[in-house]
Structure 1
Amino acid sequence: MKKVSAWLTGIIMALGLGLLVPGTASAASYCGLAWGSLAKSNQAMSAASVANVRSGKYYCFDRLVIDIRGKATGYNVRYVSKVVQDGSGLPIKLRGGAFLQVTAHSPSYDSATGKATFVPANRSEVTNVSTYKTFRQVAWAGSFEGHTTLGLGVRARLPFKVFTLAGPGNGSRLVIDVAHQW
C-alpha cells in the first residue's frame, strides 16, 4: 500500500512540476494510408496488351486492376472534371462525385495484328462496383495509339495510389487503390 501511494504522490508531483505532460493530439491518416490525390504517372510505353479489367473491395480502399499480357510499365492516373474517349475526345458519362481518368500505356489490342486482346462486355459497366464503398462506376473510354483508358467514378475526391505488380506468369498488373476516406 505504501508503494502505491508513493507512486501516486510521485506522479502527481511530476505533473504539477510539468515534468510529465500529456502527448499532443495528432491526426492519424485513415487506416495508416499516407496517399494523396495528385496525379500519378510513369511515362514509359509498353507493347504488352491489356488482357482484363477487374476490381476488389478491401477494408480501407477499393481496388481496380488492369491485367497486362507482359510487363506493365507506364500509366497516367489523375482526377479530371470529365473523362473523355480516346481518339474522339467525347465525354464519358460517369456516376460519382469525382472522376479518375485511368490510362495504361498499353493497348487493348495486339500491336502486330491489330486483333483485340480485351473487349468489355459492357462499356458502361466494365466491372460491377455497385456494392463498393468508394467506387461508383468503371467505364471504358477506349484504346487508341497504344493507350487504354478507363473512367473511374468515385464517391468523392479521395486519396489514391498506383503501382504495378509482376505476375502471374509472364504477365503483370496495373493497380489503382482509392481510399474510403481521408
Structure 2
Amino acid sequence: MRRHRIRRLTLTLTMVLAAVAVPGTAQAAPYCGLVWGSQPEVGAGAAPADTDMVMGVRSGRHGCYDRLVVDLLGQDTTFGSYDVRYVPGVVEDGSGRTVPVRGAADLQITVLAPAYDGDGNATFTPANRREVVDVAGYRTFRQVAWAGSFEGSTTLALGVRARLPFRVFVLPGVARSDFGPRLVIDVAHRW
C-alpha cells in the first residue's frame, strides 16, 4: 500500500513538473504578432522626382502601435527614398544643432523630399516646430519635432518612450490626382 502511494505521488509530481515550463525552453509569442526590429530602415527607391514634396505630417493611435504619416505630393504614385533610425540625438538640417525631444529614445526620420516647391515656397510649415503633431496621451510617442528641410530632404525628430521596434513602409498615391504617396512609420507599444 505504501509503495502504491509513493508511486502515485511520484507520478503526480512528474505530471506537475512537466506542466511547468522550464525557463529558456519556450519562446513567448511576439507582441501583437509584430516581428519588427529596431535597426535602421532605409528606402533606397528610385531617386525622388523634382516634384516630390512634403505636404503634411499626422499621427494616429492603434491597438499595438503608434503611427506617424508623412504626406507627400508629386507626380509619381510611389516613393521610396527615406532613412529612419534611432540616433543619440537628431540634428537640425543645415545648422547641425541638436533637436531635443521628450522620451528615452530619438528616432530620426529623413525623407528625401523637400517641404518647399521648385520656387522655394513652403509646401508644409508646422505651426509649432517643437510640436509638429499633438501626441499627448499616446502610449509610445512622446513628441514630434521639426528638424528642417534643407537641400531636398526633410527631417523630423520623433521622441519615443523607449527604443522600441518599428517598421516603415510607403503607401502609393493615386496617379494624376492630389493624392500622393505616404511614408508610414509605426512604433510598437512594447517588445
TM-score by length of 2: 0.81
Matched residue SS, 2:184: strand
Which residue of 146, 159, 168 maps to 2:165?
159
1:99 aligns with 2:99: no
What runs of 5+ residues in structure 2 fail to find an aligned partner?
A: 1-10
Corresponding residue for residue 178 of structure 1: 187
For 1:49, the aligned partner's letter is M
User: What's the C-alpha RMSD, in Å, of the aligned pairs?
Assistant: 2.0
**1:147-182: CA deviations, max 9, x gaps?**
100000000000000000013544110000000000
Matched residue SS, 2:32: helix
For 2:94, the aligned partner's letter is G
Corresponding residue for residue 30 of structure 2: 29
1:89 aligns with 2:96: yes
Separation in 2, partners of 1:109, 1:73: 19
Question: Comparing 163-172 with 33-42, which one deviates more in the overlay?
Answer: 163-172
Consecutive aligned runs of 4 or more in structure 1 exceeding 4 Å deviation: 21-24
Corresponding residue for residue 70 of structure 2: 66
Percent sequence identity is 57
Matched residue SS, 1:31: helix
Matched residue SS, 2:170: strand
**1:31-89: CA deviations, max 9, x gaps?**
00000000010234313000000000000000000000024220000000001000111
1:128 aligns with 2:111: no
For 2:164, the aligned partner's letter is L
For 2:144, the aligned partner's letter is V
Separation in 1, partners of 2:125, 2:27: 47
Separation in 2, partners of 1:164, 1:43: 12
**1:5-51: CA deviations, max 9, x gaps?**
xxxxxxx9xx99xxxx9996321110000000000102343130000
Separation in 2, partners of 1:146, 1:72: 14
Separation in 2, partners of 1:179, 1:26: 19
TM-score by length of 1: 0.84
